[in-house]
């Protein structure tokens, strides 16, 4: 086995990623004109395309490619008892300390032990407060009065919406164990420390799948889902030496979990969690049985109507965190000329074409002589099948660079020869290779290229 990387050695830095994301319309600070809102970000025209495609790709992998997994879109606002049953009211806390001098707030588990022991601030050396528990759930009120009767939480995870619907889904869709329920949606956590751009935010999106299995088969399914989730990233063309498993030790393991592994990614700031694969046992459904008074046992009609509370294997990935991972993973700087100026280098996002915000950009070599009209016409044809962009401004080399930086895998250039023989130039983002393709074959050619795409560097 290759030796594990200890630190990030690629060309990306979080500053470069943040600035590119803003410059090219991927991610903006929330409410920027008011000075920004901590922990919240807005996804611009390129960002929402990327996010939608990541979500669609995950959705396809989980539902379309698995006969026994169905989808759900549960409400963000849930009955408050849900969060008592799940243990979040009691346990979903982070340990918090404040510096009395510089007022900086820290998660106690994220500062060096010696600072915690002698109560000194790692920033300014000032005195730290005692550690106290801080619940991460956002609370609000439903209805016209702000009293406890109307207390309601913004969901801190999408999973509970699945558990409370599991019986509905068995009944409406005649599901048989083992089966899964997938969901993508917003989650909210009042995170104490939000840094590293969109890595840890207060409002984010999750892609979760809960797999219901017979007790005793849980370990086998847990291992199977670890394999499937690893293969998912491989298929997406992620640099596999930037991924690793991290098993939760006894101090990290959630109160409900029997075993838990994180898939970590080597971000520019180091190895960090990307996704969790958890064996949640029968904890959640047992608790919901207790708190709701409803019988949530599964009745196994193929086995003498055996009754049991299923075990749950969960795969839980952050959608917005995956987006950050994919930008970091795709980011590259490449020397493409030797003229001694800034144009020698190009910045390129090597996204897999299935997630790239724009699949094909159509570029007329010149605006005049009918080339722009011909290019528009080709774009109109391609747009039925692909996300396209059209750009006629500036030198062709500059336009290629702009598309490279946005991660567009294919450029279609329309030139004088196109008018004569009906062919266009297809330029590949990664290799910068150019080939001529008859216009009539373009859609099929691009479709094939997407299917066969293999990342080279």
Residues that bind ligand ATP (CB under 6 A): 157, 189, 191, 200-201, 204, 206, 273-276, 316-318, 320-321
Distance CA 89, CA 93 (A): 8
Q: Which is nearer to ligand ATP, 157 or 218 (CB)?
A: 157
Alpha carbon 164 to its chain centroid, in Å, reads: 24
User: Are the CB atoms for 227 and 237 separated by under 8 Å?
Assistant: no
Residue 303 CB, nearest approach to ligand ATP (Å): 33
Q: How far is the CB of 109 from ligand ATP (least distance, A)?
A: 9
Which residue in 371, 361, 437 sits closest to 400, CA to CA? Answer: 361
* Shortest distance, position 334 Cβ to ligand ATP, whole Å: 29
SS3 at position 446: helix
Residue with the CB atom nearest ligand ATP in the bound state: 318
Please, which residue, 183 or 316, has the CB nearer to ligand ATP? 316
Sheet of 434-438, strands arranged across: 388-390, 360-364, 410-414, 423-428, 434-438
* DSSP E strand stretches across 89-178: 93-98, 105-107, 132-135, 139-141, 151-153
Shortest Å, Cβ 157 to ligand ATP:
6
Assess contact for 212 and 314: CB atoms under 8 A. Answer: no
| Smallest distance from ligand ATP to CB 394, Å | 37
Beta strand 331-335 with 311-318: parallel, antiparallel or unpaired?
A: unpaired
Identify which of residues 196 and 347 has a Cβ nearer to ligand ATP in the complex. Answer: 196
- Which CB sits closer to ligand ATP, 67 or 73? 73
Residue with tokens 């991290």: 246
**Least distance from ligand ATP to the Cβ atom of residue 313, Å:** 13
Q: Least distance to ligand ATP from the beta carbon of 136, Å? A: 8
d(CA 345, CA 316): 38
CB nearer ligand ATP, residue 170 or residue 187: 187
Give whichever of 321 and 429 is closer to ligand ATP, judged by the CB atom.
321
Q: For residues 208 and 183, what is the distance between their CA atoms, to the nearest angstrom?
A: 5
Beta bridge partners of 244: 264
Q: Please, which residue, 236 or 317, has the CB nearer to ligand ATP? A: 317
């Amino acid at each position: 086995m290759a030796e594990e990387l200890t630190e990030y050695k690629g060309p990306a830095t979080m500053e470069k990623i943040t600035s590119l994301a803003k410059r090219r319309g991927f991610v903006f600070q929330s409410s920027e004109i008011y000075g920004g809102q901590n922990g919240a970000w807005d996804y611009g025209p390129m960002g929402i395309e990327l996010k939608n495609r990541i979500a669609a790709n995950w959705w396809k992998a989980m539902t379309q490619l698995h006969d026994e997994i169905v989808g759900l879109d549960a409400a963000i606002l849930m009955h408050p008892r849900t969060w008592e049953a799940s243990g979040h009211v009691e346990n979903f806390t982070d340990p918090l300390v404040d510096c009395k001098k510089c007022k900086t707030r820290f998660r106690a588990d994220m500062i060096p032990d010696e600072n915690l022991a002698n109560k000194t601030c790692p920033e300014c050396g000032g005195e730290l407060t005692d550690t106290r528990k801080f619940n991460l759930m956002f609370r609000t009120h439903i209805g016209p009065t702000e009293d406890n009767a109307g207390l309601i939480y913004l969901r801190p995870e999408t999973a509970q919406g699945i558990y409370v619907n599991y019986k509905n889904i068995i009944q409406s869709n005649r599901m048989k164990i083992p089966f899964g329920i997938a969901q993508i949606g917003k989650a909210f956590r009042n995170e104490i420390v939000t840094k590293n751009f969109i890595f840890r935010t207060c409002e984010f999106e999750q892609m979760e799948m809960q797999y219901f299995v017979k007790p005793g088969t849980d370990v086998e399914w847990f291992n199977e889902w670890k394999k499937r989730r690893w293969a998912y990233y491989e298929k997406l063309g992620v640099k596999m030496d930037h991924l690793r498993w991290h098993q939760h030790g006894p101090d990290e393991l959630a109160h409900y979990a029997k075993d838990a592994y994180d898939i970590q990614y080597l971000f520019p700031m180091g190895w960090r969690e990307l996704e969790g694969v958890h064996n949640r046992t029968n904890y959640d459904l047992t608790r919901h049985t207790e708190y709701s008074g409803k019988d949530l046992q599964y009745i196994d009609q193929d086995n003498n109507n055996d009754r049991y509370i299923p075990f749950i294997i969960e795969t839980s990935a952050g959608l917005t965190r995956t987006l950050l991972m994919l930008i970091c993973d795709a980011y590259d700087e490449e020397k493409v000329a030797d003229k001694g100026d800034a144009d020698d280098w190009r910045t390129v996002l090597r996204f897999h074409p299935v997630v790239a915000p724009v699949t094909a950009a159509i570029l007329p070599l010149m605006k005049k002589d009918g080339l722009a009209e011909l290019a528009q016409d080709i774009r109109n044809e391609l747009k039925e099948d692909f996300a396209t962009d059209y750009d006629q401004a500036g030198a062709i080399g500059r336009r290629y660079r702009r598309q490279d930086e946005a991660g567009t895998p294919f450029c279609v250039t329309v030139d004088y020869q196109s008018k004569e023989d009906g062919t266009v130039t297809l330029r590949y983002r990664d290799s910068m290779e150019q080939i001529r393709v008859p216009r009539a074959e373009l859609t099929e050619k691009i479709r094939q290229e997407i299917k066969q795409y293999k990342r080279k560097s």
